[in-house]
Chains A and B, each alone.
Chain A
Amino acid sequence: MRRVTAWSLLLCLAALHAQPADAASAAYKLGVAAPLTGPLAKMGADIRQGVQLAVDEVNAGGGFRGQKVELVVGDDKGDPREGMVVASKLVQSGVLGVVGHLNSGISIPASKEVYAPASVAMVTPASTNPQLTERGLRNVFRTIGRDDQQGKDAAAHVLARGIRKVAVLDNKNAYGQGLADVFRRTFVAGGGEIVLSDSVTSGDKDFTPTLTRIKARRPELLFFGGEYQDAGLLARQARRVGIRVPVMGGDGILDGTFVTLAGQKAAEGTLATGPGGSSQKGFKVVYTKRFGEPGAYSAYAYDAAHVLMAAMARAGKADRKAVLAAVASTRNHPGATGKITFDRKGDQPNFKFSVWTVQDGRFQLLP
């Protein structure tokens, strides 16, 4: 009995002692934090692989002055509490910057409570909540656009098509709701009419009751704020209940899996806002060769890692403050998602969302 107790106490202590070797030893460390287990694990894997690709590219080129960049991986499980623990673990392991997190609900507290006091630059490839960069923090950046930019661009596109009656749905998580809210506001301000506005619960599989309700209102387009897992099923079931108008979403649905989930016929003609594809092609080829089709956030994560590593190179030393300053001064960095320039808040003011559509079973950039 006492042995059991003593043993378990030892275990606990060991857990607390367990930490990567002292921070000073390896110089150039880059952290990546995303949900690698749990329901969001697929998107976490997309992020991790994008970062891995970037790090391997830099290391294949010799790293920095003969020193390789070391990647430190943290699993935040998509849970805010775990997210904070992982963040402090990354900080303690001596990372110079972090690519992450996926959920705005983790990025917001972690950037303020953990990364800011340690002067660690956090570049998120996926948190689009406007609030994130509105808090006067100097260490927060994103390679992705904000929901308010995206929602505006999407509404403008729909209005430009001459569509005036739209049903708006979101999946009631931070991303989906933020995007749909801005879309609603912009669309109504531009003279459009929202015939029905509702939310579904993310992860639900049966949307037919909501869609039946939408069908009765006869919209000309169905806008959905949410990720491709929900959107794919929504498009599939929209067709089943007999809705024949196009579905539109944000960059969260810009993923090859969307077409698989929706089925080719139902996916055809779907619209999505997302990054313009200037150098996307090159990235896509390399990424696909190694990991398969890139996910919605792979390219943003790849860019975030390159931005951080370019900043390390410019800083010229493994010093967090210097790296942070260098990240903040990023101008016209040629990334897979376009040219990256951060403003004082850490946003990309010039980020312009393009519109993609599913044609022949693939997302293609609209001319």
Chain B
Amino acid sequence: MPLTLRKPLLLGILLVLPALLLSLPQGEYQLDVAMTVLLYVALALGLNVTVGLAGLLDLGYVAFFGLGAYATAILMHGGPAEAAAAGGWSYWMAVPAAVAVAGFAGLLIGLPTLRLRGDYLAIVTLAFGQIAKLTENNWDALTNGPQGMEVAKPVLFGLELRAGWQLYYILLLFVLLTWWSVRNLNNSAIGRAWVAIREDEIAAASTGVNVPRIKLLAFVMGASIAGLAGSFFAVKQGFVSPPSFDFIETVTILAMVVLGGIGSLPGVVLGAAMLAALPELLRSMPTLLGLEGQFDVTPYRMLLYGAAMVVVMALRPEGLLPDAHRRAELHPHEDRPESIPGREEARA
């Protein structure tokens, strides 16, 4: 699909969808779902930088999300959980700090591991994710361990922002900011360097691309975006505890990225919106079909979720809204980009 057609589409997703949401007969539940969707959009955009744009498989991604959330909680608390709450930072100060903490962690992990290839990088980041979660759960003095930490609400001009719609607009702002910076970066020389690395690292290096630095940049940027999302998550929930930062969250976000189309910004937004909204749709299924009370859909929810992943991958492996570059990488000999690759082509 030509670029001109995709632009209104992404505008539709980013602007029209929220507008539609807010014009709906509003309810806290709809707002909660909308915030879940937007939160995952932000997370997926961040992981997309690492996995999609630079081609680095980061399986510890959710750890950066957790770092952002815990950094926010601890800074707003005014020190380690064990110390009495005193003179905590304002949320607006804590946000950049949380982003910096997550980004710096990304740098620390990235520096020694980025010279590893593919699956090894995946496993080191996976291990890092586990370590982060275990540390959050076990370092009681800092994080209050499994008991979790309460987080205050953001205050703007002396007004406590606790209503759903107020938080929603903060998040929307964050998502647009993320979108804007990722897009600009991707359209710059750095973005072209990412494509070059993805397609052929050695060729890219020999044409003068500083491969480790460009990779590191993608890794740190992904981590920072996750930190931003985590910082919002902390105040939205009003409480942080380790179970929120499980490996399965990384898996979910990765699924969103791949489902929507690796490397494609509109695709990733779509993937995040679909997979975040799907469980809620399934939750409501019996009501929609007028079967309430007769059929318990709950245990089948995860099953359908898994099935959706497998089926989409089998029928359309490059995702729902593929990136033009990706499409070219995946189907080098194809003339008609609109055709849907079937098994025959995949085998050929």
Interface residues of A (CB under 8 A from B): 1-2, 4-5, 8-9, 11-21, 36-37, 70-71, 73, 75, 78-81, 84-85, 88-89, 91-92, 103-105, 108-109, 112-114, 118, 129, 131, 172-174, 176-178, 199, 201
The reply to whether the CB of B21 lies closer than 8 angstroms to some CB of chain A is yes
Interface pair A85/B244, CB less than 8 Å apart:
no
Give bound CA distance, A178 to B148, whole Å: 12
Instruction: Contacts A19-B29, A85-B33, A113-B237 given; indicate if A78 touches B284 (C-beta within 8 A).
Output: no
Name A81's contact: one of B21, B27, B36 (CB within 8 Å). B36
Contacts of A178 in B (CB 8 A): 147
| Chain A residues whose CB sits within 8 angstroms of the CB of B145 once the complex forms | 172, 177
B85 to chain A, nearest CB (A): 13
Alpha-carbon distance between A201 and B287 when the two chains are bound, in angstroms: 39
Distance (Å) between the CB of B127 and the closest chain A CB? 15
B316 CB → nearest A CB, Å: 8
Residue contact A37 to B299, C-beta cutoff 8 Å: yes
In the complex, chain B residues 227-283 whose Cβ is within 8 Å of any chain A Cβ: 233, 237-239, 241, 243-244, 246, 270, 273-274, 277-278, 280-281, 283
Nearest 10 interchain pairs by C-beta: A18-B284, A15-B281, A109-B239, A15-B277, A105-B241, A92-B29, A88-B29, A88-B28, A12-B277, A174-B146
Supposing A5-B9, A174-B148 touch, asked if A80 and B36 sit within 8 A by C-beta, the answer is no
A315 to B284, CA, bound (A): 30
Q: Mark B73-105, 1 if CB is under 8 A from A, else 0.
A: 000000000000000000000000000000000
Q: Judging by beta carbons under 8 Å apart, are B28 and A92 in contact?
A: yes
Q: Are B20 and A13 in contact (CB under 8 A)?
A: yes
CA distance A104 to B285 in the complex (A): 28
Contacts A18-B287, A113-B238 given: A108-B148 contact, CB under 8 Å?
Answer: yes
Q: Does B345 contact A (CB under 8 A)?
A: no
Question: Which chain B residues border A36 with CB–CB below 8 Å?
Answer: 298-299
- Residue B223 is within 8 A (CB to CB) of chain A in the complex: no
- Give Cα A199 to B138, complex, Å: 9
Contact B237 A81 (CB under 8 A): yes
User: Is there contact, CB below 8 Å, between B243 and A78?
Assistant: yes
- Sample of 8 A–B contacts (CB below 8 Å): A2-B1, A15-B278, A16-B33, A19-B284, A19-B287, A37-B301, A79-B246, A113-B162
Q: How far is the CA of A273 from the CA of B65 in the complex (A)?
A: 39
Within 8 A of A (CB), among B303-323: 320-321
| Given contact pairs A4-B320, A81-B244, A14 touches B28 in the complex (Cβ within 8 A) | no
Given contacts A81-B244, A108-B239, A112-B238, are A16 and B277 in contact (CB under 8 A)?
Answer: yes
Would you give the shortest CB distance from B328 to chain A, in whole angstroms? Answer: 16
**B340 vs chain A, min Cβ distance (A):** 9
How far, in Å, is A18 (CB) from chain B's closest CB? 3
B47 within 8 Å of A (CB atoms): no
A98 to B150, CA, bound (A): 22
Main secondary structure of the interface of B (DSSP, over half): helix
Within 8 A of A (CB), among B5-35: 5, 9, 12-13, 17, 20-21, 24, 27-34
Residues in chain A near residue B273, CB distance under 8 A: 8-9, 12
Query: Looking at the complex, which one of B13, B239, B278, B338 makes contact with A9 (CB distance below 8 Å)?
Result: B13
Closest-by-CB residue of B relative to A75 is: B298
Q: Residue of A at shortest CB range from B36? A: A85
Q: A80-B239, A174-B146 are in contact. Are A9 and B287 (CB under 8 A)?
A: no
B334 beta carbon closer than 8 Å to chain A: no
20 more A-B residue pairs beyond the given contacts A18-B280, A73-B296, with a C-beta to C-beta distance below 8 A: A1-B1, A4-B320, A9-B12, A9-B13, A11-B278, A12-B37, A20-B292, A21-B287, A36-B299, A37-B298, A37-B302, A73-B298, A75-B301, A78-B243, A80-B243, A81-B244, A85-B32, A92-B27, A113-B162, A172-B138
CA distance A250 to B216 in the complex (A): 49
How many Å lie between the Cα of A73 and that of B286 in the bound state? 12
B196, chain A: closest CB distance, angstroms: 27
* A13 vs chain B, min Cβ distance (A): 7
- Complex-state Cα separation, A104 to B146, whole angstroms: 10
CA distance in complex: A257, B249 (Å)? 30
CA distance A128 to B270 in the complex (A): 40
A8's nearest neighbour on chain B, judged by CB, is B274
Q: Is B113 an interface residue (CB 8 A)?
A: no
CB atoms of A15 and B284 under 8 A apart: yes
Bound: A62/B283 CA distance, A: 29
